[in-house]
Structure 1
Amino acid sequence: MPRRTPLVIGHRGAPGYRPEHSPSSYALAFASGVDAVEPDVVVSRDGVLVVRHENEISGTTDVADRPEFADRRTAKAVDGELITGWFAEDFTWDELSTLRCRERLPRIRPRSAEQDDQEPLLRLRDLLAMVESASRTREREIGVVLELKHPTFLASAGFDMAALVAAELRAAGWASGRHPLTIESFECTVLDELQSRGISAVYIYLLEASGRPADLVAAHGADAPTYRATARPAGLDGLVGRVDGISVNKRMILAPDKLGRITGPSRVVADAHERGLLVFTWTCRPENRFLVRSVRGPGGPAAHGDYEAEWAVIRDAEVDGVFVDHPDLAVAFFRP
């Protein structure tokens, strides 16, 4: 059954105000009253799970300005896209621990960028300990929504993400269901593998508004189903009993027309709920750059538009969870 109000999930902490995945970003999310936080994890060369949105780290750290790492710059094909930069899997954790966090969107979030180069990167074990500590201090249980990034690509580089994550969760005491844990990925194969390893969690399949999952492209090529097909009733039927729910790009709910006018909520939430599947959505942000055209306001990309108009459609669709960059705004809106 859908929740009366959705879970408010701090997407990479509170990155509307602090560099994403930094310690202060998570601390601010806890203070804002989130139900859970969402760390993304990649892996270091020596197998340490590192909290970063992508394995290419030049956009969110100072690595490009570190002369000792200049020779690590390279190009890789990640899930079919050629990317040039510095990649977490080419560094040991000891090396990564010397880097500092930076704001990914400095022109949109200049106040956050003022915090650049002040905070270290986190390992997954560090973040799990922070969540436990915050839960005790605030006397309320805070959950973790753990996203696994690029498991098929990382497997080709010799890393078994399911094995690494399972071992880390067990070592931290997060594998048995004692803590509120959700695990999500754009690839269902790694979710299957973690379930087979006995990791107790809510399993969520991430669905983009376009494209195909990398694991199925690797297995089936052009015959791999699209994310859009999976979000239709027949595709959702195939997820029943395999995962607990889906997490969709908000455009799949808002359904904007060619003029950028919201026509939703679409049927995707109702269709999933009819099959007993949870539905999360991402990402609720107030800045004009991230809003559909019809609700953008004056002041340029960084200014806040009529984000409440978007969020109201998402709320009225009765989603079970929302990923947010500004947890204070989301708590105020989604918890009347």
Structure 2
Amino acid sequence: MASSPSHSSGFTACFVIFLSFGAFGLALFVYLFLIVGCSARPLYPLPSKAVNDIKQSLQTFRPYNIAHRGSNGELPEETSAAYMRAIKEGADFIETDILSSKDGVLICFHDVTLDNTTDIAKHPEFANRNRTYEVQGSNVTGFFTVDFTIEELKSLRVKQRFKFRDQQYNGKFQIITFEEFISIALDASRVVGIYPEIKNPVFINQHVKWPEGKRFEDKFVEILQKYGYKGSYMSKDWLEKPAFIQSFAPTSLVHISNQTDLPKILLIDDITMPTQDTNQSYWEITSDSYFDYIKQYVVGIGPWKDTVVPVAKHYLQTPTDLVARAHAHNLQVHPYTYRNENQFLHFNFHQDPYDEYAYWINIIGVDGLFTDFTGSLHNYQEQTSFNSSDDSIAAKLLHKIAMLVSSYEKA
């Protein structure tokens, strides 16, 4: 089969570049050509380990691979290691939950309490910090992030949430700040988006106060702006530094709409859970009239996947029309959470996560997937999709060549 003009020109350009390096360049060219020809999966170096002046752009031709709390199926959630692993494995976006310390530093942490995913129980100096607070209408007892300074939080170590996952990394990593999380994405050797959540804003605003009457949401946006995150969905600015802002609280998303045009996602909980700020039911916030209202502020929704396709006795039931109706209102749909373990895979998928990905991408037609196992989703998509421009063989090869040439010049 004849090569397309774009592939031929790309090949010629690569060959000329390497000839300039003599015998070494020619040998390197042949070696690279063989590797790329035999592998469809890009080889992504870890952040901070590669030249960053030329970056591969964000892929936008297929559903987004959203690394839920990093690659937390392999490493403790929301840690630098989990995010670096997710980037290495091909994540399009790294996702995080943003809470606050007592002294107003924004941190990456999912639970309002430290009990389940840190070694707080091993710190007798903090034994008197146990508290009971009301969170989303229920009394919760534990060690809350809002009762600890950032210095104290940094003295803790994170552990794996689920006992059936690898425990060998427990106690090795710190809680990281929102700014440290952003730095991990910006330090990557390709464009990696961020997907932060304004987590429990009602609770945080009750317990943490910032100067000048600012709210949690205001500090959240300030940090994004500090690092140059701006632009509406698919704009030039957005493609350079992609970000989605997510929250279960509609009023938080409306509030920040006056401060940033970054795309926003309204998260949707189980059908039994009302919204934490407006106390609206699931049925209200997924109605056509509400979609007409909220689409002024958001570009999509992030529903729990079992509300999109109900489940009974571990078997999928008839899908709802939620995705079709969201798409009819020009809203994207990014469901959560996809996990490889058998206890999370419904029987229809025969213990095969690739079957689950195929169902949600090809049958349900979602636009992004929150996954605990970034590598498996990336591998599935690499094996089943192809793009003739941005993700072409020539584009991949030229990117690798540029990285190698730059490294060679600096050696």
- The amino acid of 1:143's aligned partner reads G
Q: Tell me which residue corresponds to 1:40.
A: 97
1:307 is matched with which residue: 331, 349, 353? 353
The whole-number CA distance in structure 1 between the counterparts of 2:261 and 2:112 is 26
After TM superposition, list the pairs within 5 Å mapping 1:232-311 onto structure 2: 232-256=287-311, 258-292=312-346, 294-295=347-348, 305-311=351-357
- The amino acid of 2:353's aligned partner reads Y
Residue pair 1:254, 1:310 contacting (<8 A) in 2 also: no
- The amino acid of 1:207's aligned partner reads I
Q: Tell me which residue corresponds to 1:302.
A: none
The whole-number CA distance in structure 2 between the counterparts of 1:331 and 1:265 is 25
The whole-number CA distance in structure 1 between the counterparts of 2:264 and 2:379 is 27
Spell out, residue by residue over 1:52-71, the C-alpha distance to the aligned partner (whole angstroms, 9 max, x if none). 01121111111121111111
The whole-number CA distance in structure 1 between the counterparts of 2:109 and 2:345 is 24
Larger CA deviation: 86-95 vs 161-170: 161-170
Q: In structure 2, the residue corresponding to 1:181 is in which secondary structure?
A: coil
% identity of equivalent residues? 28
The whole-number CA distance in structure 2 between the counterparts of 1:172 and 1:58 is 31
Q: Tell me which residue corresponds to 1:221.
A: none
The whole-number CA distance in structure 2 between the counterparts of 1:187 and 1:321 is 20
Residue pair 1:42, 1:148 contacting (<8 A) in 2 also: yes
The whole-number CA distance in structure 1 between the counterparts of 2:283 and 2:269 is 8
Q: In structure 2, the residue corresponding to 1:103 is in which secondary structure?
A: coil
- Displacement of 1:314 in angstroms is 1.2
Q: In structure 2, the residue corresponding to 1:284 is in which secondary structure?
A: coil
Residue pair 1:245, 1:278 contacting (<8 A) in 2 also: yes
Residue pair 1:166, 1:175 contacting (<8 A) in 2 also: no
Spell out, residue by residue over 1:274-301, the C-alpha distance to the aligned partner (whole angstroms, 9 max, x if none). 1111110100111122233x3476xxxx
- Displacement of 1:153 in angstroms is 1.5
Residue pair 1:208, 1:228 contacting (<8 A) in 2 also: no
- Displacement of 1:175 in angstroms is 4.2
More strand by share: 1
Residue pair 2:349, 2:355 contacting (<8 A) in 1 also: no
- The amino acid of 2:352's aligned partner reads D
TM-score, normalised via structure 2 length: 0.72
Unaligned runs of 5+ in 2: 1-59, 210-214, 232-237, 385-411
- Displacement of 1:238 in angstroms is 2.6
- The amino acid of 2:145's aligned partner reads A
The whole-number CA distance in structure 2 between the counterparts of 1:238 and 1:313 is 30
The whole-number CA distance in structure 1 between the counterparts of 2:360 and 2:283 is 18
- Tell whether 2:276 aligns with 1:191: no
The whole-number CA distance in structure 1 between the counterparts of 2:74 and 2:204 is 31
Q: Tell me which residue corresponds to 1:301.
A: none
Q: Tell me which residue corresponds to 1:130.
A: 184
**Greater radius of gyration (CA):** 2
Q: Tell me which residue corresponds to 2:63.
A: 6
The whole-number CA distance in structure 2 between the counterparts of 1:187 and 1:66 is 33
- The amino acid of 1:323's aligned partner reads F
Q: How many residues align?
A: 310
The whole-number CA distance in structure 1 between the counterparts of 2:324 and 2:96 is 28
2:110 is matched with which residue: 53, 57, 60? 53
Q: In structure 1, the residue corresponding to 2:244 is in which secondary structure?
A: strand
- Tell whether 2:372 aligns with 1:325: yes
The whole-number CA distance in structure 2 between the counterparts of 1:172 and 1:97 is 22
The whole-number CA distance in structure 1 between the counterparts of 2:365 and 2:349 is 23
- The amino acid of 1:28's aligned partner reads R
Residue pair 2:70, 2:85 contacting (<8 A) in 1 also: yes
1:73 is matched with which residue: 130, 137, 140? 130
The whole-number CA distance in structure 2 between the counterparts of 1:70 and 1:282 is 35
TM-score, normalised via structure 1 length: 0.87
- Displacement of 1:4 in angstroms is 5.0
The whole-number CA distance in structure 1 between the counterparts of 2:308 and 2:356 is 10
- Displacement of 1:234 in angstroms is 3.2
The whole-number CA distance in structure 2 between the counterparts of 1:147 and 1:41 is 6
- Displacement of 1:117 in angstroms is 0.5
Residue pair 1:15, 1:325 contacting (<8 A) in 2 also: yes
Q: Tell me which residue corresponds to 1:141.
A: 191
- Displacement of 1:264 in angstroms is 4.2
Unaligned runs of 5+ in 1: 218-224, 298-304
Residue pair 1:295, 1:306 contacting (<8 A) in 2 also: no
- Displacement of 1:73 in angstroms is 1.1
The whole-number CA distance in structure 2 between the counterparts of 1:213 and 1:241 is 19
Q: In structure 2, the residue corresponding to 1:30 is in which secondary structure?
A: helix
Q: In structure 2, the residue corresponding to 1:282 is in which secondary structure?
A: coil
- The amino acid of 1:313's aligned partner reads Y
Spell out, residue by residue over 1:220-245, the C-alpha distance to the aligned partner (whole angstroms, 9 max, x if none). xxxxx212332233332232212111
The whole-number CA distance in structure 2 between the counterparts of 1:314 and 1:4 is 16
- Displacement of 1:155 in angstroms is 1.6
- Displacement of 1:168 in angstroms is 1.5
- The amino acid of 1:154's aligned partner reads I
